Homo-oligomer: A and B are copies of this chain.
């Protein structure tokens, strides 16, 4: 199998699993238990918190563990809105957010907030000017993702943050696709809240976190015991949190090593595709993007059909976002960038990771053109005929 779907999920690093393993059946204590057996588990999750704080350049107290990226987004956004003293009913987000952010805002809209869903330019980026014009005196919170899961496009979170902090508006960023892939320094970035998910950077599914800047009040969304300093109730998922900590430690040490190797493979893939397949384009090719992501638009064929054919050949990719599967809508991200529906239907996302090799990319470059050709033969649309 050639796995090129790392933005959907990544394998847990074997070192991560090794570190988790003793906590299932041996050191299985409840971190809330007073006895030494429970305190051993407590110490282990606090060590994990330390690794995450190190990766994020923040204080341990600023990290709140959750069950994943989706919960992290829900907690960061709703939790601070409930707790903030600044009253106001206006919120801003972008139209290319993941559903785990978009649907939080849609829910808030139903509850009476006014939400501006900012457009992006044709490169898929928020323009600062557009944001500045959208702000109102009663804007309380803005959420813009660090990097887009489909196209890999990086949003200008630093400029956004400075603008918002001047005006005293809370700033949240969904960094699920960025954490562990690129360095992020919360001590210098003008960010109040950030969400992340372990399974996107070599950790296990079932753990994520919110970075919540010191002195920012946040209400728990899951209530119960006094876990996570009263910010998220429920017995901690000890093994998965420990796994996330190890993944953070590894990412912190190895981020720089991988960027160039994976980036070169991605570039080779894109060049090969552009060379061997007519009428394709790479979304946001010349914009600051994640080095591992390539979103390809192929004319006259549909994304899922390409995906399944690649799957038959042992190549695993995604068409649009895995998390919206079951939906018939073409990618909302591509539509927001201004691509017409018919083009948006023909998207394939390649997302690379640590284990990918040059040989694998060569195989893809051999198989993918064949797949496109086969499907184009079936297609009622031929070159230049799609209207």
Interfacial residues, chain A to chain B (CB-CB below 8 A): 1, 3, 5, 8-14, 16-17, 20-21, 24-26, 28-30, 32-38, 67-71, 73-74, 98-101, 103-104, 106-107, 197, 199, 204-207, 221-227, 233-240, 304, 307-308, 310-311, 316-319, 322-327
Contacts and interface: CB of A to CB of B under 8 A. Distances in A.
Nearest to A23: B205
Given A205-B236, A205-B237, A37 B1 contact: yes
Contacts of A100: 223-225, 233-234
A34 to B, nearest CB: 5
Contact of A5 (B1, B30, B69, B106): B30
A337 B26 CA distance: 36
Contact of A12 (B25, B73, B311): B25
A206 B203 CA distance: 14
- Listed residue (A8, A16, A308) with the most chain B CB atoms within 10 angstroms of its CB: A8
Contact of A239 (B10, B103, B206): B206
Which has the most chain B C-beta neighbours within 10 Å: A10, A35, A304, A327?
A: A35
A24 B237 CA distance: 15
B240 A34 contact: no
Contacts of A36: 311, 316
Contacts of A101: 224
Nearest to A236: B205
Contact of A73 (B1, B38, B207, B224): B224
A28 B12 contact: yes
29 contacts: A1-B37, A8-B29, A8-B32, A8-B33, A9-B28, A11-B25, A11-B28, A12-B24, A20-B24, A30-B322, A35-B308, A35-B317, A67-B67, A67-B71, A67-B234, A67-B237, A69-B234, A70-B223, A70-B225, A73-B224, A74-B221, A98-B224, A100-B234, A199-B235, A205-B235, A205-B237, A206-B239, A221-B222, A237-B237
